Amino acid sequence: MGKKRVIKKTEEELLKERERVEAGLRKEIKVKTTPKTKEGRVYISSSYNNTKITLTDLQGNVLTWTSAGSIGFKGTKKATPFAASKVAEAVAQIAKKMGILDVEVLVKGIGSGRDSAIRSLAARGLNIISIEDVTPIPHNGCRPPKARRV
């Protein structure tokens, strides 16, 4: 196959590349840690199997998320109201560290953790501005199968 040639960069090129990478890192850290406003949105997705909560800013950019499974609940325990309240506590704690005080809550799904998650967010000191149910509802459903002919 032959000898491989190793190309070494000069010190100037290495310094320029390092500055470019560090500038990109600084921008990401600023966006993640300090949102511009004190308001945000909390999306609660509660299914029969799990409860997921996402914290976003008002434009919809995700700041943090967590679920009952990521906290450590397994199996059917993920769908319980207790697990949902623990997930909400974790999100509320992160929101307070970021400086978010006022939240709009959007609830989706039919799981048992809907109410307890909202109650837990309120108990942890977040001001809930509005609560909206965004569960998808079919208007006419799927087309039914053809009539069976015997």
**Percent of the chain whose predicted confidence (pLDDT) is above 90:** 61
Q: Please state, in angstroms and rounded to a whole number, the distance separating the CA atoms of residues 19 and 94.
A: 30
Calculate mean pLDDT across residues 67-78. Answer: 91
Q: What confidence tens digit (pLDDT) does each residue in 74-92 have?
A: 999 999 999 999 999 999 9
Q: Please state, in angstroms and rounded to a whole number, the distance separating the CA atoms of residues 99 and 105.
A: 17
Q: Please state, in angstroms and rounded to a whole number, the distance separating the CA atoms of residues 133 and 135.
A: 6
Q: Where are the alpha helices (DSSP H) in 34-125?
A: 68-71, 81-98, 114-123
Model confidence at 5: pLDDT above 50: yes
Closest C-alpha among 96, 107, 102 to residue 127: 102
Query: What is the identity of the amino acid at 128?
Result: I
The predicted structure's pLDDT at residue 31: 45
In CATH terms, the superfamily for domain 37-133 is Ribosomal protein S11/S14 (3.30.420.80)
**pLDDT band (50, 70, 90) for residue 25:** low
The predicted structure's pLDDT at residue 34: 52
Q: Please state, in angstroms and rounded to a whole number, the distance separating the CA atoms of residues 131 and 17.
A: 47
Q: What confidence tens digit (pLDDT) does each residue in 109-131 have?
A: 998 889 999 999 999 999 999 99
CB of 128 closer than 8 Å to CB of 95:
no
Model confidence at 35: pLDDT above 60: no
Q: Please state, in angstroms and rounded to a whole number, the distance separating the CA atoms of residues 72 and 90.
A: 12
The predicted structure's pLDDT at residue 12: 81
Q: Where do the structural domains in the chain lie, given as residue ranges? A: 37-133
